[in-house]
Structure 1
Amino acid sequence: LGVAVPIRHAVSTVVDGPASAIQSAALADAVAGRDLLAVAPTGSGKTLVFAVAVVHRLSGSPSVPGRPRAIVVAPTRELAVQNAEVLAEVGAGAGLRVATFVGGQPIAKDRRTLVAPVDVAVGTPGRLVDLIRTGTVSTADVRVIVLDEADHLLGLSFGEQTAILLDGCREAVLLSTTATADTEVEDQLRARRRGLRIHRVDAPVDTASAPSSAAAEAPRRLIVVSTPDPESVAITLAARCRRALFFVSRRDAVEPLRSAIAATGVTAAGVAGSASPTRRAGAFADLASGTVRVLVTTDLAGRGLDLDGVGHVIHVGPPHSIQDLVHRSGRTGRGDSAAGVVAAIVRPSEVARISAQAREVGMAVELVAPDGGVASTSLTALFGPEIAPPMRRRDPAPPSRSRRPSQSRVHRPKKKRRS
């Protein structure tokens, strides 16, 4: 494709082996500077598509302070940081400087970062728009703009901010990626880029009928647990998980479920969108290192994040949409690794809705009702055996304070005689 040798060497340090299906399909157009939308399963290597294209198009010329030549937009801080890490590794072969600009940190820090030239600005929509409105960042030199998780960025939450960024980069090449894109997303992007090329890679499914949704892929089986009390069943299943993500629908439900799971002896962390960047990063690091077995979270962790070895994804309550179901479930089985267990614990009135959503994206549905007399052996076959928490050494009792007997003699130092 004409990519320089140093960039190719840098890519080989990031990933080894043949190109994935979406990389083979979209990389030529991305490197050639054509506007495109890449739709492919989670973990299929879409990040490397725009990373190689951005570095290839920016290499060989310098940037000016406050005027980046590429902008990469992501819906969450964690995904922005992850994208920046990949871009920095690939861009090392071309000597590019990558910087991250996300909410939750002082904007004065971003201004200090922009004193030196920044080639690629990676950030969340709100912070990037703030920097542009205050004149700290100029889009005059932007040659490439990337929308990672384009369907989410064009939705209600970020649509207005994303439109401002696209309007400021009308002459730039648009590279957009997602795992779920319907015709509405395609129409929005085509309205801004008439020559938009769409590359869609669908994973094979086990069902006889092809999925009618635009979702690209999801793990192939969803265990639907029907119960009047989803929280109590979630606490029970946590004992069978070694590394798991428990998704809840509301922020205020994170801490109650986390504390209830931790009370059973299972190490658990909880994080929502309102948490500080330090706490969020610490929670994901604890799950990745095995310090905690369960991470209770909202849709904050539902998109794009590469968390290796996730064996269970549990939806406590139905997801808000089909897209959320696909992206949440895609946290297990990233790339070529085998998918783990994906389950939804819902009330009986919600079973029909989530079952229909799962079948629409090609997932086989298996219904379980633990309150209807299902034996523990059946749960073990579905979710695995219970994992006993490690034995903790009992802390020694603090030494008791010894009381001086009332008749004991108090030592008083002798006074020195005057000479």
Structure 2
Amino acid sequence: MSKQAILNFSQAKAEPIWLQERRLAAFDKIETLPLPSIERVRFHRWNLGDGTISENDATANVPDFMALGDSPKLVQVGTQTLLEQLPTDLIQQGLVFTDLQSALEEIPQVVEKYFGSALAYDEDKLAACNYAYFNSAAVLYVPDNMEIEKPLEGIYLQDSDSDVPFNKHVLIIAGKNTKFSYIERFESIGEYSEKASANISVEIIAGSGSQISYSAIDRLGENVTAYISRRVKHDHNSSVDWAMGVMNEGMVIGDFDSDLYGEGSHANLKVIAASSGRQIQGIDTRVTNYGKYSVGHILQHGVILERGTLTFNGIGHIVKGAKGADAQQESRVLMLSDKARSDANPILLIDENEVTAGHAASIGQVDAEDMYYLMSRGIDKETAERLVIRGFLGAVITEIPSKEVRQDLIAVLDKKLDKR
């Protein structure tokens, strides 16, 4: 890959000069930047920064649009946008939910102002790779003081019959005093026939007083090696309730961060994950309290089957000056095999007095008495294990505000268990 190839791609997309320059600056930094620091996960040899930039050809792998419902949504398969579905009244109020090229035509100044403001292009090697090589992107813009009743859905599908890298950048901008729910899905479709890499970056700008309910279901295929970065930049009194189901089949690094810059801002992160086969998943969940009286809570529960590996890093950092801040975290892992491997690492970094902080972590196997009790009631071993897993993850799933997302997560989990 050369700078000229990146420039040619950018110009073919009619991207503005500032974005072309951002891509080229990121490309120049790739070789000098370190990889992200993910404790106790060896991913340095994974193919996460595929140095190519290209587009998908037409595909026969498309979703059943009739089954997607009538909620506001954007659907992309690979680099192609297949569906934009927005009610007229929301469009008239200024809501924008579209691909990057269209957003640059509709709200160019807004995109230029916020693109890259939550995650800097030179933060680490994989961030630079995303900015240099992203081949598709989406923008959700909710103007000031707007409240949306129906959840917005971003459906981003990786075509498993294509070896084109799934390099995607999603920018979500919540204006002041907005209130809405957003559901995000990253999923592979097709027969999982081609090996591919994915470098996904999601930036969320939470304006002053905004309230966002953010749910995500990640289900990339077994042949996809993925890095998924999600980053929120909080303004004063903003709140983001995260609920994420990490249910991928391949090797995955998840890096989920909330930067609480605003005084009185809140982040509540809930993560469930399942690893199976010989799969390795490393999940780094971090909250950094910059603002006074900011609150960041992390709750992570995971299960491991067969020879799978799952690592949870929970990081709470209260910086100097963040008086009255609160950072709490809990990470728990359930292993259903003596060949499974896991780490649950609580990390607290406290640089200020007059704050509240705490953590809890545990790793254990299925309680033999629980299994005996269920099986003594005529339940077979496989069903008993499913009940135990559901009960264990239920502590997180029941905290998810959207009934639809709760049901989807349970369905995805059951399909993952069926593959054992």
TM-score tier by shorter-chain length is under 0.3
| Larger helix share, 1 or 2 | 1
TM-score w.r.t. the length of structure 1 is 0.28
TM-score w.r.t. the length of structure 2 is 0.28
